[in-house]
Amino acid sequence: MTSVQGTAVDIPTEDGVADAYLAHPGDGTPRPGVLLYQDAFGLRPHLRSMADRLAGAGYTVLVPNVFYRHGRAPVVELPEFIDPSARPDIFAGLRPVMESLTTDLAMRDAGAYLRWLEESPLVADGPVALTGYCMGARLALLTAGTHPERVAAAAGFHGARLATDAPDSPHLVAGRVTAELYFGHADDDPSLPPEQIRLLEDALTAAGVRHTCEVYTGAHHGFTQADTAAYGEEAAERHWAALLDLLKRTF
């Protein structure tokens, strides 16, 4: 495992400044870039540790606070161990913040994050990869379709609302995606029911997108997040293997 350096960075956007975490191999050599999109709980120690693990595998990883319009992370106060069933007030505070991040705003921000990576001396030339969790899986798919020239691969895990009847549903960008995609779905996930999984698969297939969609049997929504009650170690390690395989194929 490569030694890793992690730092806080600020990213100028069209609407302000997004605080972010940057992790990269300690030797300072330019490495392939990875944009990591948060889950609803946002930029916090666990996501920093995920970025560090990716950086240790040889990548320069950027984790922006996508809720920066509401303040620097953490946008809402979080316990060390997140169990929404015991603390329903957490989601009550997050829901309006999540709903305020429209697709248009998120994709405008995505352009800023991708430009920042392109200009960073720590990022190798060429397109980058994306990985996203829960709501971040939605952002990863949308970004792959909105900025195809900058995205070589994108992964999403326990994604929510990936293929709905909304006019801005992420699956509708399939025809513009040029990246290879990987999705690891949670089993029995109310936020991504079987009909949405089928619609996503059908859209990607019809568009000729290189993709893999897998359902992780027995895994709960949020299974990669070790600081939450949804965490599942076996499914989380399966996610790491799939993600690192995708990155190796890409770079």
155-206: per-residue pLDDT in tens? 999 999 999 999 999 999 999 999 999 999 999 899 999 999 999 999 999 9
Helices 103-119 and 135-146: crossing angle in degrees, nearest 10, is 70
Q: Which residues pair with 16 in a beta bridge?
A: 13
Give the integer Cα–Cα distance in Å for 226 and 224: 6
Q: Give percent of the chain with pLDDT exceeding 90.
A: 94
User: What is the rounded average pLDDT of the residues 214-223?
Assistant: 97
4-250 fold: Rossmann fold (3.40.50)
Q: Which residues pair with 213 in a beta bridge?
A: 183
User: What is the rounded average pLDDT of the residues 23-45?
Assistant: 97
Per-residue model confidence as pLDDT tens digits over 131-148:
999 999 999 999 999 999
Of the pLDDT bands very low, low, confident and very high (cuts 50, 70, 90), residue 92 is confident
- Indicate whether this model's pTM tops 0.85: yes
User: What is the rounded average pLDDT of the residues 16-31?
Assistant: 97
What is the DSSP code string of the chain? ---EEEEEEEEEETTEEEEEEEEEETT---B-EEEEEP-TT-SSHHHHHHHHHHHHTT-EEEEE-TTGGG-SSPSS---SSB-TTT-HHHHHHHHHHHHHS-HHHHHHHHHHHHHHHHH-TTB-SS-EEEEEETHHHHHHHHHHHHSGGGEEEEEEES-SSSS-SSTT-GGGGGGG--SEEEEEEETT-TTS-HHHHHHHHHHHHHTT--EEEEEETTPPTTTT-TTBTT--HHHHHHHHHHHHHHHHHH-
Of the pLDDT bands very low, low, confident and very high (cuts 50, 70, 90), residue 1 is low
- More confident site: 217 or 2: 217
Contact assessment for residue 104 and residue 14, using Cβ atoms and an 8 Å cutoff: no
78 pLDDT above the threshold of 70: yes
| Domain segments of the chain as ranges | 4-250
Mean pLDDT of the chain: 96
